[in-house]
Structure 1
Amino acid sequence: MSELTHVQLLWLQGKIENRIRFGRTVQELRLDHYRREVAFAPGSVFAFVRWSSNDYGTVLSRISVLQAVGPGEACATVPFVAPGAAILLQVVGWPKVERVLQQIDAIEALGIDPADVAPDHWWHVQNRMAAGQRPRPYTILRHRAWLHRRSVMP
């Protein structure tokens, strides 16, 4: 059994798009013109966007910020993700997905890779959005504190 978390990506123009918004892949396999499979090392954080439509418009908009798990670690089942992942954030519906994408853009504007953001920030965003409140922005100071905490507490 692989120690990696595998994500199946699919793209059918105007119908289905499953893609990675951010994250560091360690493996990629092109299955055909429409499908790829990417893999993440345990502990990696990545954003998985799923969108689909039919003849009448958008049917599904979803974004999940996930953390890859190692062998034997508890995980949630997520469609197209094997064996599963820890869910840090998950929202459904274009207005909420758009707000999460704006959060990601704001983090990137600071020069921070969203894959390096403190995992509890994604929980914070999830919880504030669920409560109908605006999430606090991620800051350089908060990021430095997270990097320091991670360096002293492995």
Structure 2
Amino acid sequence: MTGLATRFVRAGCDVHAPPEDLTQVELVWIEKQIEHWIRFGRPAHEQVLDRRRRILFFPPGSVFALVRWAANKHGTVLSRLDILRAVGRGETCQTIPTVTPGGDILLRVDGWPKVERMLQLIDTIEAGDIDPADVSSDHWRHVHNRLAAGETPRAYTMQRHRAFLLRREIGA
């Protein structure tokens, strides 16, 4: 098994899923107009369409962060960060622009101040030597709910991460 496949198996993702089971995320980068990028996540495959567009493919169960920004001649019109779990065939999901078929939304923030705060929280998790793609889905939901209520979310520590990994290992 390759290193990439091993990481997906550990994360409970199906790296060998048929192409129709993969979640597709179309990324666009038109300087100072539209910028869509992945902040974290481990795609199984990438397809370059042209110098401004590409499609990333995520196996069911994988978690990734999609940042979307757009502007017009008057300034920013969209700043959004979504943390999503890729869904398997037949699973219910929410629709998200540029994501096919959609995903399980774990966290959504709108507006640059909130997006910037989330990027800082993600940086903090990475500073603790934890890959944000491996963080508990429940934590991302917790962060979403706390931010929506105007409260400070609990930090995701290595101790919390180990507890999550042990729970997942025993199937709890």
Query: What range is the shorter-chain TM-score in?
Result: over 0.9
Work out which of the residue numbers 98, 101, 123 in structure 2 matches 1:105: 123
Question: Is residue 57 of structure 2 the alignment partner of residue 39 of structure 1?
Answer: yes
Matching residue's letter, 1:20: I
1:136 CA displacement: 1.0
Question: Is residue 73 of structure 2 the alignment partner of residue 49 of structure 1?
Answer: no
Work out which of the residue numbers 14, 23, 27 in structure 1 matches 2:32: 14
Identity in percent: 59
Question: Is residue 49 of structure 2 the alignment partner of residue 24 of structure 1?
Answer: no
Q: What corresponds to 1:122 in structure 2?
A: 140
The 4+ residue runs of structure 1 with deviation greater than 4 A are: none
Matching residue's letter, 1:37: I
Matching residue's letter, 2:66: F
Q: How many residues align?
A: 154
Between the aligned partners of 1:84 and 1:152, the Cα distance in structure 2 is: 29
Question: Is residue 154 of structure 2 the alignment partner of residue 141 of structure 1?
Answer: no
Structure richer in strand, relative to its length? 1
Between the aligned partners of 2:161 and 2:128, the Cα distance in structure 1 is: 10
1:49 CA displacement: 0.2
Work out which of the residue numbers 61, 66, 78 in structure 1 matches 2:79: 61
With normalisation by structure 1, the TM-score equals 0.98
Q: Please state whether the residue corresponding to 2:20 is helix, strand or coil.
A: coil
1:87 CA displacement: 0.2
Q: Please state whether the residue corresponding to 2:43 is helix, strand or coil.
A: coil
Alignment of 1:75-94 (within 5 A): 75-94=93-112
**Structure 1 unaligned runs (5+)?**
none
**Structure 2 unaligned runs (5+)?**
1-18
With normalisation by structure 2, the TM-score equals 0.88
Matching residue's letter, 1:47: A
Compute the RMSD of aligned alpha carbons. Answer: 0.9
